[in-house]
Structure 1
Amino acid sequence: MKTNSGRFFEDYTVGQVIAHAVPRTLSGGERALYHALYPARHALYSSDEFAESCGLAAAPMDDLIAFHTVFGKTVPDISLNAIANLGYAEGRFLKPVFAGDTLRSVSEVIGLKQNSNGKSGVVWVRTKGINQHGETVLEYVRWVMVRKANLDAPAPDTVIPKLSDVVDPSTLAVPEGLEFLRYDFTAAGEEHRLADYEIGEKIDHVDGVTIEDAEHMMATRLWQNTAKVHFDRTNRPDGQRLIYGGHVISLARALSFNGLANAQMIAAINAGAHANPCFAGDTVRAWSEVLDKAETRAPGVGTMRLRLVAVKHGAPDFALKGDDGKYHPDVLLDLDYWVFMPL
C-alpha cells in the first residue's frame, strides 16, 4: 500500500520520535490570508514600522501562524485517526518567525494510556517547530484520543507524563531586541498597559463572528491539516464537519483585541482545552480573565497571564463550568496563556 491511512493507537510507543513532512516556507501570503480569515490587528504583527520601534527587525508572523503551521505538519502522523484533540500544556514560543523562514515539525511520544473500552487510547506528544537554521521556534505538549485499528492489540504500559500547570514566567523567551520604551499606544489602538489590569479582572471582548464552513476549510487547508473530521461530512454520524480547534483559538485571540490590544505577543501556552465541539453556523464570542502579571528583563516589557474563553451563540456571561465541574455546553475553548505587553 502506497497511501497513508495514518497511525492508530497501537502504532505508538513511548520514546518514539516522528519527523513530520513537509517543510513549509512562510511568506507574506500566509500573513494576508490569516488577517483575512480572522479580525487580527495587533500592531506588532501588522506593521514593520511599529515592530522596528519595538526593537525588532520587522513585523514577525502572528505567533499562531507558526503554531498552526507546526501543528498541521503533525496531523498525518498523530491525529489523522483521532477522536478528539484533548488538551495542550507547556507551550513555549521561543523565537519569532518572519516571512521567508522555513518550518518543520518533530514530535516525541511521551505518554500512552489505553481507554477502558479497549477501542481507543490517549497519546501524549511533545512537538517542536524548527526553522531553517535548526533553531526551535516553538514547542508544546498535546494529547489526543486515537482509535485502535486492531482491537485485539495488547494495551501498552500506562505512562502519563507529569506536566507543569504553568510555564514559569522567569523562563519566558523574550525576543532578542524587544523593548517597549518607545511604544506608540495610539498606533496600537488602546491606551491600557500592564499596570492598568488587575488580577481577577474579567474582560468581555464584546464582538462576535459567525463561523462559515468555507472559511474554516480554507483555514484548515492553509495549515495543511488533513484531519478527516474537518473536511469529510461522512466521517461523523451527525454529518457535520467539525471546526478545527485552532480556528477557534485564532478567532478568539483576534476578538480579544477589543480590550487587550496591547497584548502584543504570545509568550507561552500553559494549558488549553477544546471544551465542546464547534460547527458552522455557531457565533463565537470571547472573554478573558487576568490570572497573573510579572515583569521581564526586557526594557518596558511585562507579561500577563490570561485565561481566554470562547463561547458560542449568546453574549458571554463569564460562565465557565457548572457545579458538576463540567464545562458549560456553550463554552468552546478554555486557553491559559502568557502574553508580552508594555508595563
Structure 2
Amino acid sequence: MTGTTSAKTNPGRFFEDYSVGKVIAHAVPRTVKMGERALYHALYPARHALHSADTFAQSCGLPYSPLDDLVTFHTVFGKTVPDISLNAVANLGYAEGRWITPLWPGDTITATSEVIGVKENSSGTSGVVWVRTTGRNQHGEVLLTYVRWVMVRKRGTGPAAAAVVPTLSDSVAVTDLVIPPGLDLTAYDFTLSGEPHRLRDYAVGEIIDHVDGVTVEEAEHMLATRLWQNTAKVHFDATHRPDGRRLIYGGHVISIARALSFNGLANAQMIVALNGGAHANPCFAGDTVRAWSQVLDVADTPAPGVGAIRLRTVATKGAAGNLRDAAGKYSPDVLLDLDYWALMPQ
C-alpha cells in the first residue's frame, strides 16, 4: 500500500503540551442510567443501602437513590484520560476532592480540567502534571471537583517550561463538606443498612480489618475500564509495558476497597470529600486485594442526624495495619492509600 500517513489520529498529549492555566474541555458527554448502577454493583460488588434502594434513600430524605459516588468519579476520570493521561507513566495522587451534587439516573456528565502545575523530572524523559478536574451535569451544576497529578512522558529531550508546583490542602475542612439537600438520618434504619454502628461508635485511631478479599480478574478489570471509557494504554495494551502485563486501573482498586469496607463501615453511606490518595504499588490480574481502614476524625454536620467520618482506607495484598516500612516507604504489599470523608448517622 502506498500513500501518506494520515494525521487525523490523536497520539495523546506529552509533557511539553501542558502549560499552567490551560483549560481542556474533555470530549464525549455521558448519560448514565440504571445500567451503570447494575454494572457497578456487579463488578465490585457495592452494598451500601443508600445507593441500593429508592425506599431506603427516601427514608433518609432523598427523592430516590443516587448513583454510587464512585460512579461519578470513574465517569469523570475516564473523560480526562485521552487528554491528561493517555501517555502517562503513572497516576500519582489526588487531593482537594469534593462531591458537590448527587448523580441521579438520567444525568449527563461532562468534564473540564485546568492545568495548575508542571515539573520536569530529573531524567529529562518525563514530567509531572497537576490538573484540577471538574465534572458537571446537564444543568451546569458541579458534580465533583478534584486535583490529581500524573507522570507523563516527554515527546523529546529539549528543555521544558519552568516548574510550577501548586500548594494543595492536606484535607478538606468539615465546614467545606457539601451535604445533599434534604438528607436526614434521624430515622435511619440500622437493620436494613446491615450494621448497628453509629458515628460515635468509632474512635479516632481505631483500625478496622475488613476481613474479606477479592482476587482481581483480567476480564472484570477490562470490562470496568471500558465501562468508564478509560483509554489509557497501560490498561489495554500488553505490549506497552516491558513486563508485558496490563496495569489494573487504580480506580478499580479504589472501588474494590470501598466495597470491601462495607464489612465494618456499612453506615459510611456517602463519600463527600477526597483528602488525598496514592497508588502506592501496581496491581495486576491475579492479585488478591484486601482492605483495612483507620479512623482519622469524626465530626458533626448541620444536617439532621448526619455526621462525618474521616477514614484512611488501604488496599493491600498483605496484613491489616501494615502501611510503611522503617524508612517510611510504602510496604510493597500496599496498593492504595486513600484519605476521605464519608457521611454516617450520628
Provide TM-score, normalisation by structure 1: 0.99
> Matches of 2:73 and 2:8 in 1, distance apart?
29
1:223 aligns with 2:228: yes
Unpaired segments ≥5 residues, structure 1: none
1:5 aligns with 2:11: yes
> Matches of 2:320 and 2:277 in 1, distance apart?
20
Give the aligned residue type for 1:321: R
- Measure how far apart 1:317 and its partner are: 3.1
Aligned to 1:56, what secondary structure does the other structure show? coil
Deviation string, structure 1 residues 172-207 (Cα, Å, up to 9, x no partner): 000000010110000000000001000000000000
Aligned to 2:26, what secondary structure does the other structure show? strand
> Matches of 1:136 and 1:96 in 2, distance apart?
9
1:283 aligns with 2:281: no
Aligned to 2:336, what secondary structure does the other structure show? strand
Give the aligned residue type for 1:161: P
Pick aligned residue for 1:63 from 60, 69, 73: 69
> Matches of 1:151 and 1:175 in 2, distance apart?
48
Deviation string, structure 1 residues 114-135 (Cα, Å, up to 9, x no partner): 0011100000000000100001
> Matches of 1:322 and 1:257 in 2, distance apart?
28
> Matches of 2:163 and 2:244 in 1, distance apart?
34
Map of 2:103 onto structure 1: 97
Aligned to 2:27, what secondary structure does the other structure show? strand
What does residue range 23-172 of structure 1 map to in structure 2 within 5 Å? Answer: 23-152=29-158, 154-172=159-177
How well do the aligned residues superpose, as a CA RMSD in angstroms? 0.5
> Matches of 1:51 and 1:151 in 2, distance apart?
54
Map of 2:269 onto structure 1: 264
- Measure how far apart 1:170 and its partner are: 1.0
> Matches of 2:229 and 2:45 in 1, distance apart?
21
Deviation string, structure 1 residues 197-247 (Cα, Å, up to 9, x no partner): 000000000000000000000000000000000011000000000000000
Map of 1:242 onto structure 2: 247
Give the aligned residue type for 2:103: V
Map of 1:22 onto structure 2: 28
1:296 aligns with 2:301: yes
Map of 2:321 onto structure 1: 318
Give the aligned residue type for 1:51: A
> Matches of 2:99 and 2:328 in 1, distance apart?
31
Give the aligned residue type for 1:52: Q
> Matches of 1:339 and 1:278 in 2, distance apart?
25
Map of 1:194 onto structure 2: 199
Map of 1:178 onto structure 2: 183
Unpaired segments ≥5 residues, structure 2: 1-6
> Matches of 1:150 and 1:330 in 2, distance apart?
34
Pick aligned residue for 1:328 from 324, 327, 331: 331
Give the aligned residue type for 1:340: L
Give the aligned residue type for 1:338: W
Identity over the aligned pairs, expressed in percent?
72
Do the aligned residues in 1 keep the contact of 2:291 with 2:320 (CA within 8 Å)?
A: no
Give the aligned residue type for 2:237: D
Deviation string, structure 1 residues 78-129 (Cα, Å, up to 9, x no partner): 0000000000000000010010000001000000000011100000000000
Provide TM-score, normalisation by structure 2: 0.98
